[in-house]
Amino acid sequence: MGADWGPVIVAVVLFVLLTPGLMFQIPAKGRVAEFGNMQTSLPSIVVHSLIYFGLLTILLIAIGVHIYTG
């Protein structure tokens, strides 16, 4: 049986999509959300980290995403 690449792929994709300021930023300066502003702040880093941890936990533990190579 090959290696399980599911957790690696899910973690990388979520990290790229949830990088604060790349696609969106929650909370933004003066607004609830901004899209594509390429800026970040400490509160947005905390919020995006919590969202990342929650989605990663759901996808890897609750759903159990597995991609085997072999």
Model pTM? 0.83
Distance CA 29, CA 43 (A): 10
How would you write the pLDDT of the chain (70 residues) with one tens digit per residue?
A: 678 898 999 999 999 999 998 899 999 888 899 998 888 899 999 999 999 999 999 999 999 888 888 7
* Burial category of 44 from C-beta neighbours within 10 Å (exposed 0-12, middle 13-18, buried 19 and up): buried
